[in-house]
Structure 1
């Protein structure tokens, strides 16, 4: 189970993880072995609520393809376990970004005092602008 938040969990069978081990391409790091993890998550086939699926599909992220598949590649010169954990953390953060509620402020009416202050400020500013460039007697 991959826990995203207190209310959202993903079963392990919905996340495909392919572990790839390949020899380096040459150069100075000939003896290093690159351990890569390719994580694949199908949004439409997942057990996420439909509301979250729509939000995920609406995100503008290059890791989300048009057919609703998230592909995350973690490839560093470190162990497979660390790369796997990194890919899962990236998926977790992407889903959190989609399910996070945007806080909207309720519009409030200005008070009489604040309206009066704003009008007084505009009048004062207008008077000083009108007097610019004029010689006072």
Structure 2
């Protein structure tokens, strides 16, 4: 559950949910019960606003395929219902993360004193290295 309020509603008809067998340990139950959920959400074909789509497609989320489909696999829980809810929550979280435009950085100027200190430190380091080589720093 995210602390971020839900900003965008996702129509259930735009989401493709498939039940598959889970991976990993679990014995006989894992081998015969399809409790994991694959959720597929076509970003380009969705009803999201254009700027939301663009931000979601531009994000570096590895769950987004080249064709613009967000694939979420939920298999942490033993029941299909809990995995379905977890996958849906993760989808909602991904969409809500791009619903708010990123804050633009306000460029600031480096303070004059900071520049002076940095240059003085550079001179000091250069003198130390010059003395190590055996040369005179005054030359």
TM-score by length of 1: 0.65
Other-structure match for 1:13: 13
Other-structure match for 1:78: 78
1:29-77 C-alpha deviation (Å, 9 max, x unpaired): 1685332333222212222111121222234545333332223333466
In 2, the alpha carbon distance for the partners of 1:8 and 1:77 equals 26
- Structure with more of its chain in strand, by fraction: 1
In 1, the alpha carbon distance for the partners of 2:64 and 2:104 equals 27
In 2, the alpha carbon distance for the partners of 1:119 and 1:37 equals 58
- Tell me if the contact between 1:38 and 1:71 (Cα under 8 Å) persists in the aligned partners: yes
The 10-residue stretch of structure 1 (100-109 or 66-75) with the greater mean CA deviation from structure 2: 100-109
* Correspondences of 1:1-137 after superposition (within 5 Å): 5-19=5-19, 28-29=27-28, 33-75=33-75, 78-99=78-99, 101-103=101-103, 105-132=105-132, 134=134
Structure 1 residue ranges (4+ consecutive) displaced by more than 6 angstroms after TM superposition:
none
**Bigger Cα Rg:** 1
Unaligned runs of 5+ in 2: 22-26
- Tell me if the contact between 1:33 and 1:77 (Cα under 8 Å) persists in the aligned partners: no
- Going from structure 1 to structure 2, the CA distance change for 1:119 and 1:73 (only over 3 Å counts) comes to closer
- Tell me if the contact between 2:43 and 2:69 (Cα under 8 Å) persists in the aligned partners: yes
Specify the SS of the correspondent of 2:83. helix
1:84: how far off? 0.5
- Going from structure 1 to structure 2, the CA distance change for 1:112 and 1:36 (only over 3 Å counts) comes to closer
Unaligned runs of 5+ in 1: 23-27
In 1, the alpha carbon distance for the partners of 2:68 and 2:99 equals 16
- Going from structure 1 to structure 2, the CA distance change for 1:62 and 1:133 (only over 3 Å counts) comes to closer
RMSD: 3.4
